[in-house]
Structure 1
Amino acid sequence: MLTALFRWVGPMRFRNASVRSKITALIVSLTLLWAFAAWVTLREGVNLIGAAAVDAQLVEPSEPLLVELQRERRQTIARVGGGARIVDKALRDQRARTDAARAEFATSLDSSSLALAADDALIARARDVLDELTKLDTARKSIDSGRVGASQAVAAPYNNVIDSLYRMYDSVAAFDDKEIAKDGRTLSEISRSRELLAREDALMAGVFARGVFTGDSHAEFVSTVGIFRYTLAEAMSKLPEEDRTAYDRWTKSAHATRVRAMEQQLIQHESGTGPLPVDAEEWRKATESTLTDMQAVTLAAGDRLAERIVPIAVGVVVRLLLAGGLGLLAVIASIVLSITTTRQLLAQLRKLRDAAHELSDERLPNVVERIGHGEVVDVTKEVPDLDFGDDEIGQVGQAFNTVQHTAVSVAAEQAELRRSIRDILLSLARRTQGLVQRQLSVLDVMERRETDPEELKELFRLDHLAIRMRRNAENLIVLSGSSPARTWRRSVPMVDVVRGALAEVEDYTRVTLMPMGDVVLVGRAVGDVIHLLAEVIENAVSFSPPYTSVQVSGQLVANGYVIEIEDRGLGMKPEDLDAANERIADPPEFRITGTARLGLYVVSRLAERHGIQVVLKSSPYGGTTVVVLLPPELVEQEETPKPPDDTPRAGLPRRPTAVATATRPASAENVRTLNVASSRRALTLQPDVPQEQAAPVPREPEPEGESDVKPAEFTPSGLPLRVPQANLAPALREEAPAVLTSDKEDDDERSPEEIRAMMGSLQSGTRLGRTEAAKLIEDQQPGGST
């Protein structure tokens, strides 16, 4: 499962890597392959060097120790078997030679070359030999004190030391060559056979000292002789031809033949019966010579094995040179070739990448922008072919040339299509705008002729709907990238600009207009600012509960004039506010999709046209506050301040001339509809704020006969009833203020008959409305009196 996972995950990760990473991985893998091949070859040389170090620092110092231990064991067993209680000079000298060999062996273990060449297992086996040699000192004391008397007990500590030496030989590093390793193991087996002959000789030394075979000693002798002959025959059968010949000569020598004959005699001798059939001195000389000859043959075989190792070492060196030297040259050449190829490949790919970025970041947007401006674009000149050569990268470059030709062509077609759509939108908007303007003119005439208050109320509602339709038509004009047709030559008071915006809002009665200050807006920006504010106020009214109000305020600041529109709705999330502000600050190109944010797009385009800053932020009341900052070049201070009585209060309308001539109170509904109609004609909306929000306006009573205007009493909800023109100064009643009109309406001339009909209609509606309001107040008063 892990292998399958690796096979699946590995290529997936490598497939997504860069070209440089892939080439680097290829170079690294090639280097690792060379390092592995070099190490395999070098390991043989290191093995040879290590084997030579182990042989020099461990094996050679141990061989004299092995021989001296065998001799000391024989003399010790002979002394104990003879019943001697005093250590003679010969045994003391032998022990001294053994201790000298042991000291030399211990010294060789501390060499640094052995520590580098030997592995941990070999060092551990060598330490075991030293531990057994330490135990030998205790065994000597026990033997000398007479506490140990049996031959087997005497031989045990020596046998343990010698067995630990052979275990150490088994841990010596083997050669990688199988034949060499096999011959080395065969020589080790012959050396073990020699140890069996030495044990046999030590056993007989004790028997000769006692002069008789015991049952146990005879059985041990027979067993040792059998094992010796078997292991020797097995080991000799594995020797190479030259070594086998040398061992055959040794087995046929006089001393070896005499030892076998005496062994046979001793085997056939019954224990406990008479003297031994073999002379002790003759046995000693024959076995000693046999052991010496056998050691010489074994060492000679070892020397021949070392000579056979030399050609192997030479071959290792040659392979090391070939695999290491020539392989290293090949790796270096591969690295150089890979680096140069990678640089060329990356240069071509970088050129192709830069061309793709230039196409996507510069050429396509430039072509689209130029086509959007109506310029004719030649695709062949705009997208020249790129030359990347004739290799595989060049073929990819040719394919890219085709792709960029197609992309520019499609972009040109799409840009042309979008321009056509914008032209269609502009055409439809202009037509709709013309129709709406004609509809407003018809409504205007109908309003002037109508005397019925109810019918006049419905006409005013249609008037308001037409004004909103005009704004929607202007939205299409803005989306098409053009400017609306409404323009003004003269500056307009800021309060009238805001009222004009409120005239284009459906639920304008929920908007509270705060004092705006004595500031006027330059004529060139009036239409767009009215449109912008209408969009923002409409959004604030639409996304807040119907029982809440929207507050509009404005004031001069250091950087221009700021208008704040604050609602008390549900508000927006921080991320939505950030997205909306970013969209307004940096408006994207208009697309056919995404109609849910057309209002923001229109606001952003209108603000961009005049350098207006529009920022949305959270309101402390839980809703949203929109800050509209007009630059200083769009606003001016009014030259002559208005009279105090004519200054519009929060939520109080400024009445046109026609309304100022009314002499009786009007109903709230009539006042509201009259204001809507007047706002369309004068481009200033005078909304009645909901009665719950209006504050009572104190005024001085006027002398009887100067005015028929009566003070307002109370609304159905118990608040003072606001009466338009109640606080108007007498001077203003005598001379009506100038009403601001658009360029088209400035030039509109009415006949005296039309003016008379309009004034009569307004007076009739005003009188009827005031009569109904008076009756309503009268019904609510206790006793029916006012």
Structure 2
Amino acid sequence: MRLRSSSIRAKIIALLLVPIVALVGLWAYATLVTTGDFWNQFTLASTYKAFGQPVDQVVRDLQNEREAAVVRLARSRAQGVQDDYLKAQQATDQDALILQRAAVGQDTGKLDASQRARLQELLKSLGQLAQLRQQVDQESLSWQFTLTRYNEVIAPSFPFRSSFLTRQSGQLPRQGTILIELARARDYLAQEDAAMEGVLGSDNPGVLQYQAVLDPMHHQQALFSVYIGELDEPDQSEYQALQGSDAWGAVAVMEREYQASDNPADVLHSINEARWHSSADQLLDQLTAENTKLAGALGDRARSYAMGLLWRGLTAGGIGLVAIVLSVVISLRIGRGLVRELVNLRNTAHELAERRLPSVMRLLREGQPVDIAVEAPELEVGAAEIGQVGRAFNAVQRTAVQAAIEQAELRRGISAVFVNLARRSQVLLHRQLTLLDTMERRTEDPAELEDLFKLDHLTTRMRRHAEGLIILSGGSPGRAWRKPVRLVDVVRAAVGEVEDYARVIVRPFPSTGLLGSAVADVTHLVAELVENAAVFSPPQTQVTVQGEVVAHGFALEIDDRGLGLSEQALAEINQRLEVEQPFDLADTDRLGLFVVSRLARRHGIRVSLRASAYGGTTAVVLIPRELLAEVPGPVAGAAPGVVPGAAGAPGGPPAGGRAPGGRQRELVAVAGGAAGPGG
């Protein structure tokens, strides 16, 4: 997972997820280990019940069959020995069959590899019984060797029992070892009993026969003396009580008498056969009962130990689960709180950058007062590190707003300076125009009159540029009329303020008038468009101005024969004319367009550019009906299609000694000065 480009929420989640996953993993591992020990002990107990008890029964059957075989060989002519041997075989075969069925049953899967191997060794040894029984029936073996062969068949049962101890835990392996060794001691006692039956059944026992009793006797005495003392209470007390029983004492006395015999043949006289038989059988039964009781107690301890493991595991697992839940809850609360603070900081920063600061800048551009506390309040995002970041944003916000306010005040100050200078220049130019008008009326010399006309025209253009500076500074030119003025006179006055006025052709106009409040601005607007058309067209071409009344007002079309503009340039200029744009001091090449855009929005006039049929550009000015008015009387001016004063040669003085500048001065007046017609 690549977190470098991820969101802060994803990073915090990943940061919290790592320790939580590790904690859950440790909890799951500990729970599995604890419950695994429980299931291991529980499965071990059920497995031993399925296999251990049948094995114990088979071993007891083999011990009885072993004794019957020894008696069968030692007293072959005695009555009933053969039947006893056959009954012992049947009991062994019956229980062996149960063990073999268990070995191929569904519980076999619970055994591990070692246990299965030990079980197969035991079953393999049981397979030797058929040959051994045949040899016993044929009396081809001595009872001593037969005893040894049966011992070999029984021997694999003890490793099989011991294989269960490796999977136990706690004190169970120790108690299980003691129980196995006590069972081994009982087997030695059973061997001793069988050998004693063989010795007592012999007419003249030899040294080997004597030793066949003595060896298992020593083994069982050693095992009992060691492992009874290792038993825990109350098992030890019960076994010690068994040692104090009559049967145990009688067997011990006869064992001492047996060992005290100097000659093996003396055993026949020192040992009472009936007493030995009854005492040994009684003691073996008591040992079987005691070992079975110990096995049951050990099984109970195993189940109790398993349940203890389960409860400890459940307790630890429950505590671990509670800890995990608390960790998750605390982590989620901390993480959500941190994410909430960061998201709040992000949203507040976005709001600052996308809404508040642009709103403040818009208000400042519009010249409206700005309350910093209302328009740019401080961010409230906490008191920690994120709060410090928020306070840093507050400082940046205050600095940015304060700088914007200072810049706006600086721009307003500069605009005020420009307006002041422009108005001073406007007053001086008005006085200069008045003086020129007086001089024009007084002189009769054509050459001087021509120079005065040129100076008059230059002064008029200078006044328009001064008014443009006032408009760019957000002010009003200062000229106004009380009564409507014919649109044709407004257009002619605008043409008179253009340098190449001689190239401009004004088509016939309807007798439609314009409200006096819009005369100065419309004159300036048309003059800017006409001058733009004249500047960006070849000097030998003409610029045509025509107008007509349309459904939505009065439409003026200013058509040049220049090189034209591309569609992209036209779209850009129309966008600039339609949508209010902030004045860019660096864009000095299009000051006229900015003046036109501002004047048009002031009166609701729509101005657009389009490609001309002559290859140049056509400017369309749509004056709304609200600005139109009726003006009584005929349309003033010269012949149709010609600007007054432009009938003569281009650039020369007009016929009758009047220039366009003189005529338009009669129309256009400075506020506070003399008014022209209708003024």
Per the shorter chain, which TM-score range?
0.5 to 0.7
Q: Is it true that 1:681 corresponds to 2:662 in the alignment?
A: yes
Q: 1-side partners of 2:362 and 2:375: how far apart?
A: 12
Q: Among 313, 316, 319, which residue is 2:316 paired with?
A: 319
Q: Is it true that 1:529 corresponds to 2:528 in the alignment?
A: no
Q: 1-side partners of 2:299 and 2:613: how far apart?
A: 102
Q: 2-side partners of 1:596 and 1:51: how far apart?
A: 93
Q: Is it true that 1:310 corresponds to 2:307 in the alignment?
A: yes
Q: Is it true that 1:474 corresponds to 2:467 in the alignment?
A: yes
Q: Among 193, 201, 204, which residue is 2:118 paired with?
A: 193
Give the conservation status (yes or no) of the 8 Å contact 2:122–2:157: no
Matched residue SS, 2:474 = coil
Q: Deviations over 1:209-268 (max 9, x none)?
A: 7999xxxxxxxx9xx99x979987995895732223333344555379979x99xxxxxx
Structure 2 runs not aligned, ≥5 long: 60-89, 139-148, 196-290
Mark the CA change 1:330 to 1:346 in structure 2 (over 3 Å): closer, same or farther: same
Give the conservation status (yes or no) of the 8 Å contact 1:515–1:648: no
- Return the offset for 1:427: 2.9
1:409-424 equivalence runs, <5 A: 409-424=402-417
Q: Deviations over 1:83-110 (max 9, x none)?
A: xxxxxx99x99999899x79xxxxxxxx
Q: Deviations over 1:615-673 (max 9, x none)?
A: 44566777655432222232123434559xx7854xx21535xx99xxxxx545537x7
2:652 is aligned to 670
Aligned-CA RMSD value: 6.3
Matched residue SS, 2:565 = coil
Mark the CA change 1:515 to 1:42 in structure 2 (over 3 Å): closer, same or farther: farther
Matched residue SS, 1:598 = helix
- Return the offset for 1:602: 1.3
Q: Deviations over 1:25-48 (max 9, x none)?
A: 888778767755654555457657
Q: 2-side partners of 1:23 and 1:302: how far apart?
A: 53
Q: 2-side partners of 1:97 and 1:545: how far apart?
A: 124
Superposition TM-score, scaled by structure 2 size = 0.57
Q: Among 446, 450, 457, which residue is 1:451 paired with?
A: 446
Q: Among 121, 124, 127, which residue is 1:202 paired with?
A: 127
Q: 2-side partners of 1:570 and 1:295: how far apart?
A: 118
Counterpart AA for 1:242: Q
Q: 2-side partners of 1:620 and 1:304: how far apart?
A: 112
Counterpart AA for 2:127: A
Q: 1-side partners of 2:134 and 2:559: how far apart?
A: 127
Identity across matched positions, percent: 32
1:241 is aligned to 174
Superposition TM-score, scaled by structure 1 size = 0.51
Counterpart AA for 1:243: G
2:553 is aligned to 560
- Return the offset for 1:422: 0.7
- Total equivalences in the alignment: 533
Q: Deviations over 1:182-211 (max 9, x none)?
A: xxx6xx523421212212432664797799
Give the conservation status (yes or no) of the 8 Å contact 2:669–2:675: no
1:115 is aligned to none
Q: Is it true that 1:653 corresponds to 2:642 in the alignment?
A: yes
Q: 2-side partners of 1:247 and 1:675: how far apart?
A: 149
Q: Deviations over 1:97-140 (max 9, x none)?
A: 899x79xxxxxxxxxxxxxxxxxxxxxxxxxxxxxxxxxxxxxx
Matched residue SS, 1:655 = coil
Larger Rg: 2
Q: Deviations over 1:365-416 (max 9, x none)?
A: 66786xx58x9x9999999999999877887787777666655654443333
Give the conservation status (yes or no) of the 8 Å contact 1:559–1:631: yes
Q: Among 609, 613, 622, which residue is 2:606 paired with?
A: 613
1:253-652 equivalence runs, <5 A: 253-254=186-187, 305-325=302-322, 327-328=324-325, 332=329, 360=357, 409-434=402-427, 436-437=429-430, 445=439, 450-452=445-447, 464-507=457-500, 513-543=506-536, 551-566=544-559, 569-573=563-567, 580-590=573-583, 592-616=585-609, 625-642=618-635, 649=640, 652=641
- Return the offset for 1:423: 1.9
Q: 1-side partners of 2:657 and 2:5: how far apart?
A: 70
- Out of 474-483 and 405-414, give the one that drifted further: 405-414
Q: 1-side partners of 2:589 and 2:163: how far apart?
A: 99
Q: 1-side partners of 2:616 and 2:34: how far apart?
A: 85
Matched residue SS, 1:562 = strand
Give the conservation status (yes or no) of the 8 Å contact 2:35–2:310: no
Q: Deviations over 1:580-628 (max 9, x none)?
A: 4454444245454443443332122212322323344566777655432
Q: Deviations over 1:539-583 (max 9, x none)?
A: 345456778765543222233222234556443445x65654454
